[in-house]
Structure 1
């Protein structure tokens, strides 16, 4: 058994059975080993940003990490943006990065680079395997380090991959569950909730389950506390039957206003909220000055246990939650805009669908409009680096082939990782992509105004830098060129009919929704 075979066998033994790949010469023995070792599914992606984004989406829905296979430092560099998003979202990932043979590094060949240095910027753990006899143990350690919410990067030199490993595969790694929340923190939270002060409980982290939303609602009703999620929790269950929980707004000014009277902030898996960016005369910290903050549970601690304990200690076991009712609107008619798209989505959203949201400004209307839709999972863009949505939809569909995946995607962000459409077609994934095609970087127009640059009004050169029309992009042609059936919607009726048809088709589909740009001020 060579090093690569022992590596893949170790990963499979430990439950990692999916690898998103974009290999090169240094990884050829790993690629060859895929035919020698049973149990590993390899999914080819045409760009490394698709590889890492797909691994993110897979882990969110499978509840365990996928592996990635990347080619040397430049390949890892191409994957960094979506590894960054995964790290910010507390999503586990095991990156296998090929390197030159150990003896070849001394010659500084053109692709030689500081892989460990590059990986360290987005990884919790980085290690280069020194020899084929070590690689299986190193692979097991990578799985252990990734755990439930961390990024582990294992560097695989080519000679370690092809060299003989007489020890064979390592024993399977079992990942333990989250740590219990200490009793003293729970007691402090109970005291805060009984104090009569204006209190907010904010939840976030890797996943907010439907059961957790119900527990939060019950605790909020029992104590008078407001309950909300952070702006972009990685994965939240929502829709009919889930508990009513607010969401912290994206815009700092709105978030500050929402929390302005808060005296106490209890955090469950969420960081203390701050503005995404700095703006003139706008505070960076969202909570008001003097607000007492308690980190009740870190993202890697048992949030479910903490909520159940709070409910019991507050004597609120019999409090009924506020629950979202099922309210399905009619299909819209007339002009196609973000509101009519949101209404059609709410009408058509299937039970237990997965929504991947990178709609940016155009997608803002979809979240509140679907609050009472059929129950579903909503995946948010956690790290702010665009080009995440299409790949994440790939990974979610690979993890959950029996479920419908809907990707809400901005036109500008789609172009970062448009190659994901090819993987959707190759793997015949059940994904419906909605492109909000307004031919603008509307989020940047909004941010330009908010920063006050040039008085908030771009000049001709600045405006050109925010406009992605001229030429207008033809997403139908691009999708069809990569094997995905695609249509263009110009009216609300068009969109409703096309969305209904796409969701009835188990193959990947794309809808190019032509909408007007966001109107500012």
Structure 2
């Protein structure tokens, strides 16, 4: 078999089943090998940022990596925003990046670039395979490096791909297990939980599961502590039957107020809480200056094991505090962010997956669905928009039996709107709700908070924050890419369309025409509750 065939067989041997592709000339032997090797699903994406975002969504739900296939340095460059998001979420990903044949690089052809240099800032491991006989070994190493939440980027020169590999594919390797938390850290955490000080337990990382939430709830009750999540964990189980957990607010001022008085902070999978951005006269570190912080377990550590040990040492045998099912009535009247949130809470089906890139208009949806039917919530971990639609693609491929609901801002949707075409081509069970308000509302909010120009934009600045001239017709765009679509202008029409979409399999988009957030140019807007 040639190098490409041995690479694909190696990936399949390691349990990789999906490749999100946007290939070019240098990758044609890899593309050809997809027909020769069984077990790899090829999903075409019309933009590299869709491929990487889909791989991130897949990893968040499947708990293992997919691969991407990208075309040289520029193709990798187009994918970087969502590779960045995956990296910040500690989600595993294997990027296969084609390159010119090794002997062709010396001629500096138009697409020649420093692929390793481009990949380095967002990859935990980068390597260029040197020979066809090495590629299977290198592919197995890429999967091993992706392991528990790393980005592995393997550069595949064209002649390595088409050359003969007499050694064939590499056998499967045992995936790495989460690292045990050291005993001294567990002892320190137990002492902190028993000393009577005001303590918060903060969860974060790749997946805050049902079991993890229940363990943390029991531990918090035994210790008299609070339990919360970081602002944007990659995936969290919530809704009816899940543990009652707060979420740290996004706005720095509100987050600082939420942590005020905290004397001890235990981090499990979460990083030290800091402001998303810097602002004049606002602290970057959100916890109190005298707060003792213990990084008990990182995202790659055995968080569940650490919680179990601490629960045993503190005698945390009480039942966890769980949310009850509380469904609001269907809203009536005007359609706005609040009535959309109420409708979502009413209609969200059992065990759905919510992909949240609703930005400002989606703020109300998180607290509104706290007592909805049980579901998983996926967050934008790295802040680079254009993640939501592709992540919904990946989530739906990882869990085809579950309904995926994508909450998407109109501005961020336009970064990777090509994902709609992939939803239609693959007939994915995704319902997209576009918050169509004709504004970059989050930037209006941030403009006010930074104090630029006294916090109030002039006409040129205001024009750069408005995207409603001309108005965007998402129903037409979706229909043009093969996705069934409707437009809602009232709460009643939105509820009717959402109910129909939840009851029907396949891709559907609802263009929800809502008014923009009207920011107060002097004070930050409310962000809803911190409920998780």
User: What residue number does 2:525 align with?
Assistant: none
Offset of residue 505 of structure 1 = 1.4
User: What residue number does 1:67 align with?
Assistant: 67
Offset of residue 322 of structure 1 = 1.2
Query: What are the Cα deviations for residues 266-287 of structure 1, in whole angstroms up to 9, with x where unaligned?
Result: 0000000000000000000000
Query: What are the Cα deviations for residues 425-458 of structure 1, in whole angstroms up to 9, with x where unaligned?
Result: 0000000000000000000000000000001000
- What CA distance in whole angstroms lies between the structure 2 residues aligned with 1:123 and 1:290? 35
- Contact 2:330 2:342 survives alignment (8 Å): yes
SS of residue paired to 2:364? helix
- What CA distance in whole angstroms lies between the structure 1 residues aligned with 2:218 and 2:335? 39
User: What residue number does 2:257 align with?
Assistant: 257
SS of residue paired to 2:46? coil
User: What residue number does 1:148 align with?
Assistant: 148
User: What residue number does 2:342 align with?
Assistant: 343
- Contact 2:16 2:65 survives alignment (8 Å): yes
Offset of residue 485 of structure 1 = 0.5
Q: Given the alignment of the two structures, is residue 333 of structure 1 paired with residue 326 of structure 2, yes or no? A: no
Offset of residue 3 of structure 1 = 0.2
Query: What are the Cα deviations for residues 455-474 of structure 1, in whole angstroms up to 9, with x where unaligned?
Result: 10000000000000110000
Offset of residue 182 of structure 1 = 1.2
User: What residue number does 1:190 align with?
Assistant: 190
User: What residue number does 1:396 align with?
Assistant: 395
- What CA distance in whole angstroms lies between the structure 2 residues aligned with 1:292 and 1:23? 50
Query: What are the Cα deviations for residues 46-89 of structure 1, in whole angstroms up to 9, with x where unaligned?
Result: 00000000000111111110000000000000000000000000
User: What residue number does 1:286 align with?
Assistant: 286
Offset of residue 198 of structure 1 = 0.7
- What CA distance in whole angstroms lies between the structure 1 residues aligned with 2:40 and 2:286? 45
- What CA distance in whole angstroms lies between the structure 2 residues aligned with 1:65 and 1:348? 31
Q: For residues 74-85 of structure 1, what are the structure 2 equivalents within 5 Å?
A: 74-85=74-85
User: What residue number does 2:172 align with?
Assistant: 172
- What CA distance in whole angstroms lies between the structure 2 residues aligned with 1:320 and 1:127? 49
* Cα RMSD (Å): 0.5
- What CA distance in whole angstroms lies between the structure 2 residues aligned with 1:57 and 1:320? 32
Q: Given the alignment of the two structures, is residue 414 of structure 1 paired with residue 413 of structure 2, yes or no? A: yes
Query: What are the Cα deviations for residues 335-364 of structure 1, in whole angstroms up to 9, with x where unaligned?
Result: 101111011001100000000000000001
SS of residue paired to 1:169? coil
User: What residue number does 1:467 align with?
Assistant: 466
Unaligned runs of 5+ in 2: 521-532
Query: What are the Cα deviations for residues 32-53 of structure 1, in whole angstroms up to 9, with x where unaligned?
Result: 0000001000000000000000
SS of residue paired to 1:140? helix
Normalised by the size of structure 1, how large is the TM-score?
0.99
Offset of residue 121 of structure 1 = 1.2
Worse-superposed segment, 2-11 or 173-182: 173-182
User: What residue number does 1:238 align with?
Assistant: 238
- What CA distance in whole angstroms lies between the structure 1 residues aligned with 2:186 and 2:509? 47
User: What residue number does 2:375 align with?
Assistant: 376
Q: For residues 37-56 of structure 1, what are the structure 2 equivalents within 5 Å?
A: 37-56=37-56
- What CA distance in whole angstroms lies between the structure 1 residues aligned with 2:233 and 2:310? 21
SS of residue paired to 2:236? strand
Q: For residues 101-112 of structure 1, what are the structure 2 equivalents within 5 Å?
A: 101-112=101-112
Query: What are the Cα deviations for residues 245-295 of structure 1, in whole angstroms up to 9, with x where unaligned?
Result: 100000000000000101111000000000000000000000010110001
- What CA distance in whole angstroms lies between the structure 2 residues aligned with 1:63 and 1:57? 10
- What CA distance in whole angstroms lies between the structure 1 residues aligned with 2:366 and 2:141? 39
SS of residue paired to 1:153? strand
- What CA distance in whole angstroms lies between the structure 1 residues aligned with 2:216 and 2:123? 32
SS of residue paired to 2:133? coil
Offset of residue 176 of structure 1 = 2.3
- Contact 2:265 2:293 survives alignment (8 Å): yes
- What CA distance in whole angstroms lies between the structure 2 residues aligned with 1:299 and 1:194? 25
- What CA distance in whole angstroms lies between the structure 2 residues aligned with 1:460 and 1:341? 31
- Contact 2:144 2:176 survives alignment (8 Å): no
- What CA distance in whole angstroms lies between the structure 1 residues aligned with 2:260 and 2:280? 19
